[in-house]
Chain A
Amino acid sequence: MPLCYLTAGMGLAIFAGAVAGWARYWYGYFVLGQGVLAGLFIPWAAVIVCSTTLTHRKTIKKPCSITLVLIFFACFMVAQAVGFGMAQPWFDPVGWLGRVIQGGTQESIWGITLLGGAVAKNFQLGVNGGFWIFLNLFDLFFMVFFLLVGINSQPKESR
């Protein structure tokens, strides 16, 4: 596991997570968009930062890439909670998580809130509970998938 790649990836995951958390508080949750963007951005930017240390055609072996994904994912999630909490008027991301799961509050979702008619009336303030958990798992699945793809992808061979 290249140390530069690991360090840069962790830093980028923390940065992406903090930005995602902040944006999630102020503008709502972009289901699929957030996961895909973060999943592609972290390994892509890490390769750019550490391009000198990566040897071309050398792939990172599978157990190592899984470990990397888990580390980046954990960093992203913790940073996202911190970013969300920093955007709140008082730092309470865990309390908010409990409330949204129990139905005490709702989270605005991109797209749903922009729709008109009955959908907007019902979901204008957002979603919570089981539907919220489903949307998160859906998004996070894509994030992990793209992290795996990104970590195992090779930079283009220079001509």
Chain B
Amino acid sequence: MITWARILTFFVALGLLGAGVFVLDAKKELNLAYRAYKYRDMDQAMRHARRTRFALGNNTRITAGALKLQYAIAVRRGHPEKAVTFLGQAIQLQPDCGLCYLRRGDLACTQKKYAAALSDFKKGFETSSPLTPALKSYYYARQGLSHLAIGENKNAQADFRKALEYDSESPLAFFLESKVRDRSGDINGAYENARVAYGLGLKRPGFFSSPEGDFWLRCYADITIRYKAAHRQP
């Protein structure tokens, strides 16, 4: 009798341990993921966000939230391809997530996939819920850069105006205009805009230290050198 009681106790304990470890609560997992992200522990944030997928109490909202978090982590860790995949999955779950399209467009623009970027920007602006003016300005500037890359200078200039409309002190918008002017051969206008953009970028913390900051510094240096060369006295 005592042997059976021992065996039963063993299996009950094993079952409880298993339930405690293997049965996950989706909401708790997502909260842990956010907490880890807050403490900049990207590995644990990613792990907990991924665990929500097979946790109990999972629903579309929680899964979409976990996928958006995974996107943010993938971007921070320098895995844009994975980030695009996560955003794609989030869009499948929430097709009205305008910000998801805009973010995916931004990533596509960074990866130089301009046609895909423009398609996503278009969908994003159509379906986007209210965004902060600074964010709207940023995405218009990114759309403008995509337009510029495929040679649609007029559309790029229209995007520059829209970007300035939402944020009159956007360094990205002025860099965009500088590139548009440079493309059309107006080195004076390009230099003026690049100079303004550089000044605004210095005021904005993190602009030049961002992954693309180095590119814009080089762009400013290049335009300045060409402007000075053009105005050098013989």
Question: Which positions in A face B, CB cutoff 8 Å?
Answer: 25-28, 89-90, 96, 99-100, 104-106, 108, 110, 114, 124-126
Contact = CB atoms under 8 A, between A and B. Distances in A.
Contacts of A125: 32, 35-36, 39, 41, 44
Interface residues of B, number: 21
Given A90-B79, A124-B32, A99 B43 contact: yes
B21 A96 contact: no
Interface of B: 17, 20-22, 32, 35-36, 39, 41-44, 46-47, 50-51, 70, 74, 77, 79, 82
A153 to B, nearest CB: 23
Contacts of B70: 89
A105 B21 contact: no
B44 A114 contact: no
A26 B82 CA distance: 19
Contacts of A28: 21
A114 B20 CA distance: 7
A119 to B, nearest CB: 14
Contacts of B46: 89
A100 B17 CA distance: 26
Contacts, number: 43
A28 B51 CA distance: 12
Contact of A105 (B41, B50, B51): B41
B43 A96 contact: yes
A27 B44 contact: no
Contacts of A26: 47, 51
B32 A27 contact: no
A28 B21 CA distance: 9
23 contacts: A26-B47, A26-B51, A28-B21, A89-B46, A89-B50, A89-B82, A90-B77, A90-B79, A90-B82, A96-B43, A100-B43, A105-B41, A105-B42, A105-B43, A106-B43, A108-B47, A110-B21, A114-B17, A114-B21, A124-B32, A124-B35, A125-B32, A125-B35
Contacts of A25: 47
Nearest to B47: A25
A27 B17 CA distance: 12
B82 A27 contact: no
Contacts of B77: 90
A124 B41 CA distance: 13
Contact of A27 (B22, B36, B43, B79): B22
B21 A27 contact: yes
A159 to B, nearest CB: 24
Contacts of B41: 104-106, 125
Contacts of B74: 89
Given A26-B51, A89-B74, A106 B44 contact: yes
Contacts of B79: 89-90
Most chain B C-beta atoms within 10 Å of own C-beta, residue among A89, A104, A106, A124: A89
A126 B47 CA distance: 12
A81 to B, nearest CB: 15
Nearest to B77: A90
Contacts of B20: 114
B82 to A, nearest CB: 6
B44 A126 contact: yes
A71 to B, nearest CB: 30
